[in-house]
Amino acid sequence: MCPNGKEFHFLYTQAVKNNKYGRREEVYQCEDCSNCPHKENCTKSEGNRTIRLNQELTGYHQEVLNNLNSTKGALLRMNRSIQAEGAFGTIKWNRDYKRARRKGLKGVIFELSLISCGFNLHKYHLKKLTLLSAA
């Protein structure tokens, strides 16, 4: 139903543009948009308003919303907020580390391991300093 209370009618099914997986979408058109007070806000086209629905994509969106709103999804979101992203943010922003300088998977893993070790050593050093100054 459109904001003016008119129904949409099925026109045709077409392939989704630039999609290599063969997805299809259904095209619907409003029955009559002439003399509609909502037409300026509803559509930019000269004729009636058309909408495209991809049932497969709509199903995926609903599945994502169900997963996020479930108890397990809430726990995963809460756990994510307290995990290591803060350390990565500190390394990127405060230590000005923007890109890996080594090539290849082994080189990048080695470099990130060294940076992580340096981050942990710095954290340990700061903790030792606070313990020594408190004593």
The answer to whether 103 and 97 are in contact (CB under 8 A) is: no
Render each residue's pLDDT in the chain as its tens digit; 135 residues.
888 788 889 999 998 888 888 888 999 998 888 888 878 888 888 888 888 998 888 999 999 999 989 999 888 888 776 666 678 878 888 888 888 899 999 999 999 999 999 999 998 999 999 888 876
Contact (CB, 8 A) for 43 and 33: yes
Q: What is the pLDDT of residue 71?
A: 92
Whole-number pLDDT of residue 81 = 63
In terms of C-beta density within 10 A (0-12 exposed, 13-18 middle, 19 or more buried), how is residue 61 classed?
A: exposed
Predicted pLDDT at 108: 93
Q: What is the pTM of this model?
A: 0.49
What average pLDDT is seen over the chain?
A: 86
Whole-angstrom distance, CA of residue 62 vs CA of residue 21: 20
